Amino acid sequence: MMIEIQDEIVALDVETTGLDSEKDRIVEIALIRIKQGSIVEKLVTLLNPEIKIPPDVSLIHGITDEQIKDAPFFRDIAVKVLEIINQKTILVHNADFDIPFLKKELKLCGLELSEIKIIDTLAIARNNFCFTNNSLSTIASYYKIDTSGYHRAEADAMMTYKIYCKLLEELQKKGIICGKQGL
């Protein structure tokens, strides 16, 4: 698996009302556009999912119905989301979870993703490393990356980016990737 080094990337994370992208909704999103190692744009917001957050899910991310009752709806930020991510490289940990939620929310607004490239740190970890498990917090802890705020979109997006940088460093040392780091 050849991995390209990106000069510009958008770290993405979502928190949701559950695990099923067909019936559940996004309650928090973070898009952090990073160019040559510096944050150049951020969109981080709670969202009103228009459905209740199950109590067991609130226990995971700490987001409650009370916190999101006056938050914007996804449709209020959909165009801005597309402006940030279309024709960019999206960095995510577990694309099979986040991307279907994002696509569904955009589809509900009559919009769709186009021309994006996805880099999944979960896939990189699974294919190239042997961590005790490949959860975001396990890999972050392995690299001594701060995990405070875990299961909140902005913290998880930043952890994903920091993990990506560490994985790239190691893969470069192994000769799996070449070129300037640019990070």
Residue 4's pLDDT is 61
Q: Cα-flanking dihedrals φ and ψ of residue 66, to 5°?
A: -60, -40
Q: SS3 sequence, the chain? A: CCCCCCCEEEEEEEEECCCCCCCCCEEEEEEEEEECCEEEEEEEEECCCCCCCCHHHHHHHCCCHHHHCCCCCHHHHHHHHHHHHCCCEEEECCHHHHHHHHHHHHHHCCCCCCCCEEEEHHHHHHHHCCCCCCCHHHHHHHCCCCCCCCCCHHHHHHHHHHHHHHHHHHHHHCCCCCCCCCC
Cα–Cα distance for residue pair 135/143, rounded to 1 Å: 13
Residue-wise burial string across 169-183, b where 16 or more C-beta atoms lie within 10 A, e elsewhere? eebbeeebbeeeeeb
Cα–Cα distance for residue pair 27/49, rounded to 1 Å: 6
- 151, 169, 170, 172: which one is catalytic? 151
Residue 150's pLDDT is 94
Q: Which residue has the higher pLDDT, 177 or 172?
A: 172
pLDDT at 170 over 50: yes
Residue 87's pLDDT is 87
Residue 180's pLDDT is 44
Average pLDDT on 19-43 reads: 97
Residue 178's pLDDT is 53
Average pLDDT on 163-182 reads: 77
For domain 8-173, give the CATH number. 3.30.420.10
Residue 175's pLDDT band, with cuts at 50, 70 and 90, is confident
Residue 182's pLDDT band, with cuts at 50, 70 and 90, is very low
Share of the chain above pLDDT 70, in %: 93
Q: Which residue has the higher pLDDT, 71 or 181?
A: 71
- 93 tagged catalytic: no
Q: Which residue has the higher pLDDT, 138 or 183?
A: 138
Cβ contact 156:13 at 8 Å:
yes
Average pLDDT on 63-80 reads: 98
Average pLDDT on 142-162 reads: 97
Average pLDDT, the chain: 93
pLDDT at 179 over 80: no
